[in-house]
Amino acid sequence: MKLFQQLLVAPAALGLMAPMAANAADLDIKGVSDYSASSEQVTSISQFQDVYPTDWAYQALSNLIERYGCVAGYPSGSYLGNRAMTRFEAAALLNACLDRITEVTDELRRLLNEFEQELAILKGRVDGLEARVGELEATQFSTTTKLVGQTSLISRLKEA
């Protein structure tokens, strides 16, 4: 009979707990969006008080900061790299980096279009220089030259 009572209580308990679990998920999403909104982008890894050159991910974090500027820290000036990352935080970081890469790619395309004529002129000049270097290499003489000759020493002996 006790098993039957436990089976009746379990759905009721789950029914009461489910809204709390949903609220916890909402809090995580809210926390990540608050983190994204309140955190400032970092321009140098030295701005983090808790990241050291001896950390195993130091170089990767430094590259993300310096190349793409897509890493944000906490308002306290820390990164909290030893703390577990939630999937929401990972998604926010990945999204920020992908957005930054898209911006850089768009800027590169704009610059390529803007300087298309200049790049074509430079390409022609480089092709011309490559052709001239090829001609020089084909007709270049040897830097090692053998000199063949004969020397004669004549010495005069004085008789005393």
Please list the pLDDT of the chain residue by residue as tens digits (160 residues).
Answer: 454 444 444 444 444 444 444 444 444 555 555 555 545 678 889 999 999 999 999 999 999 999 888 888 888 888 888 889 889 989 988 998 999 999 999 999 999 999 999 999 999 999 999 999 998 888 876 667 777 888 877 777 776 5
| Residue 131 within any structural domain of the chain | no
Residue 125 falls within a domain, yes or no?
Answer: no
**Model pLDDT for residues 150-160, shown as the tens digit of each residue:** 887 777 777 65
Expressed as residue numbers, the domain containing 49 is: 11-118
**Domain-embedded: residue 154:** no
- Total domains in the chain come to 1
Residue 145, in any domain of the structure: no
Alpha-carbon torsion (62, 67, 68, 74), positive or negative:
positive
86 within some domain: yes
In-domain check, residue 72: yes
pTM of the prediction?
A: 0.51
